[in-house]
Amino acid sequence: MYGWRCTLGMVLMLAASLSFVTSSAKAQFDRITRAQWGSLEHGNGDQLAIDRLNNLHVAYADGGFIKYVTSSDGDQWTVPSLVSSPASLSAMPAITVDSAGTIAIVYVGQYDPLTEMGRIYFAFKPLNGATWNVSEIVTLGTQPDIVSHGHDVHITWTTFDSVHYLSFATQVPPSTPVLFGEEIDGDTCAGHRFLRPSIALELVPCGAPIPRVAYLVEFDETNSMDPTCASLITEVGPRVCERDPASGTWAVEWSDTLTAINPVNGVEAVSLSLNSNARDKHFFLAYSDVSDGSARTRIAHGIDGVWDSVAHDSYKNHVHVQAKPASVSGGFRFAWVEEGIPGLPFVDPSASHRSGTWPSGPAPTWSDPTSVQIAQQRFIGRPQASWWGRCLTSGHDRIRALFEADGACSLISLATDLETGLSCPPMEPPVAFSSCQTFRELRTARVNTWQVVDTRDLGAIVELGPSYAVYDVGGGGVAVVSWSAGVVAAAWQDGFALEGFEGEITVEGAGQPTVFDYGHLSQYDGPFETCLGDGHIFSDGFESGDTSAWDLLADGP
């Protein structure tokens, strides 16, 4: 199909990328069918998810099938497993992992490439489960996205003339598929389209999470034959809608649409991605669109209903944005690639990512002085911005982006951009402690013989010793978690695992955080909430078996 584009020069350039994929990019866990460049095409949905034990989970499209792989180190991946039915052309997957470790994937089955429509399917697999449970949940739709909290999943999708929302318990999908969920936005005019819906959550003390859905509108009725819809004015750009938990209705919270009067070149909704740090209520939005031949790509930030946006460039880009965990307020990573080679959309040597913080104000502060190119002179497709790291004896491994890497014109690999060779934190004892007025908490639980410690709300590890870990809790404060016995088998920003743990975990500094030890849980099943009088709320859920999971809903002052 693309052979005529594969000139000798291009072959040599792309062949050189094979060494890149096996060294700098490292993990290549599948060869994707050459004619199916859509493996990570669904920019509004996350294709990479991270569970509470710091494992990586990836869903992607390959030649009309939805596949899944997992990894504990970002380098060695499992053999791809088939999620979708072999008898149904499938596309556009998105993935999440809930608090109990249940992996959930939403995708379009019975997909029609001409209309880009199909039926929405939902697949889940419990932690350590062997098979996928697959069911149809929506009779007609496309471009789905999914996010989870506790034991529930929240899903959005479009029918092009309307955007919809549905939520249910992860392991209890609807017994019969729905025609429509809650309608977020819609219009019956033929030239009005709603594309690329993306969903993220805000956690609320003593209440259900509040979802927000962002999507691109693409309105063009300049050639409409319907007199009630005909208009010389076009409109394109993002809208962000918030759900009212009391009424179940949706309202536009923010928009950044462009209008033009009888444009020569019309409009195009290109790409959109929404993500949030649900605990700190930071939302990050990246979007790309075209109005009357002029393209733009922008990044926006919202908190407490106040939104700001900045220009990135004036090109058509495939975009993806990811919020950083709660230890860094307003931290985010942005990944993108330009439209690129004709006939191969969003495959280009320009694929890049950039990280920064945006706690408030009109513009972010970039931690990367300039854009970080994933691979110079390599043809890279559709990067997914990611935050992941693990400190092993060999050093830090950090995933910055998941992406497609073109081989010698006939091969495509999914690969990860790993930052390697960094030394582990020093193992000398800490020299000082500082107090911090902000309440912080520490969660521990046992998974078989492993004591797993979740410290994502305590802060980021800045020092790791044989029997202690030091955390930056913000505001000039540090906390030290120490233990009397055990071996640190793995450590990462959100916690660490101790093999054969015995003894107590104590915390110093940071206003003496509370330590919750749930022990070896195997019987409890179902979420519960504890609302403390000082505005803190915790929600915990446990699956049957030797595993546990937890989630902090809100962190008060």
3-state SS, 57-119, equals EEEEEECCEEEEEEECCCCCCCCCEECCCCCCCCEEEEEEECCCCCEEEEEEEEEECCCCEEE
Q: Quick one: average pLDDT of 485-493?
A: 65
| Residue-level pLDDT at 101 | 83
Arithmetic mean of pLDDT, 219-229: 94
Which whole number is the average pLDDT over 138-152? 94
Range in 184-188, 374-378, 537-541 the model is least confident about: 537-541
Whether the CB-CB separation of 58 and 8 falls below 8 Å is answered with no
Q: Is 239 helix (H, G, I), strand (E, B) or coil?
A: strand
Q: Which two tokens stand for residue 111?
A: 């997909």
Range in 31-45, 339-353, 381-395, 483-497 the model is least confident about: 483-497
Mean pLDDT value of segment 307-328: 89
20: part of which helix (H) or strand (E)?
A: helix 8-22
The predicted pLDDT at position 163 comes to 98
**pLDDT classification of 483: cutoffs 50, 70, 90:** confident
Coil, helix or strand at residue 363 = coil
What is the amino acid identity at position 107? Y
In whole angstroms, give the CA distance from residue 324 to residue 533: 28
Q: Which two tokens stand for residue 60?
A: 């992607």
State the average pLDDT over residues 461-478.
70
Between CA 121 and CA 115 the distance in angstroms is: 17
Average pLDDT over residues 81-110: 93
- Angle (nearest 5°) at CA 548 between 543 and 553: 100
Instruction: State the Cα–Cα distance between residues 481 and 440, nearest whole angstrom.
Output: 12
Percent of the chain whose predicted confidence (pLDDT) is above 90: 48
Higher pLDDT, 133 or 437: 133
Report whether pLDDT(63) > 70.
Answer: yes
Which residues in 424-459 belong to E strands, given as ranges?
Answer: 441-447, 450-454
CA gap 318, 341 in Å, rounded = 13
CB-based contact 282:259 (threshold 8 Å)? no
CA distance 192 to 58: 33
CA 30 to CA 459: how far, in whole Å?
35
428-451: average pLDDT: 55
Q: Range with the lowest mean pLDDT among 233-242, 284-293, 431-440?
A: 431-440
Q: How confident is the model over 482-499, as a mean pLDDT?
A: 67
Residue 469 is predicted with a pLDDT of 76
Mean pLDDT score, 236-257: 97
- 514-517/441-447 β-pairing: parallel
Alpha-carbon distance of 401 to 382, in angstroms, equals 10
- Specify the length of the chain in residues: 557
The predicted model scores a pTM of 0.82
Spatial neighbors of 530 by CB under 8 A, at least 6 apart, are: 537, 538
Contact between residue 77 and residue 59 where contact means Cβ atoms under 8 Å apart: no
In 3D space, the residue among 289, 275, 14 whose CA is nearest the CA of residue 146 turns out to be: 275
Residue 19, pLDDT > 50, answer: no
At 37 the pLDDT is: 53
Can you read off the two tokens belonging to residue 348?
Answer: 């280009």
d(CA 268, CA 253): 22
- Most confident range (mean pLDDT) of 24-33, 79-88, 410-419 is 79-88
Segment among 253-267, 344-358, 505-519 with least mean pLDDT: 505-519
User: Quick one: average pLDDT of 257-261?
Assistant: 97
Whether 538 shows a pLDDT value over 60: the answer reads no
Classified as helix, coil or strand, 487 is: strand
Q: Which among 278, 217, 279 has a CA at the least distance from the CA of 252?
A: 217
Least confident of 40-49, 142-151, 197-206: 197-206
pLDDT at residue 300 tops 80: yes
pLDDT band at 54 (very low <50, low <70, confident <90, very high): confident
Q: How many helices (H) and strands (E) does the chain have?
A: 1, 42
Does 394 have pLDDT greater than 70? no
Give yes or no for residue 88 having a pLDDT over 50.
yes
Q: Mean pLDDT, to the nearest integer, of 281-304?
A: 96
Say yes or no to pLDDT of 29 above 70. Answer: yes
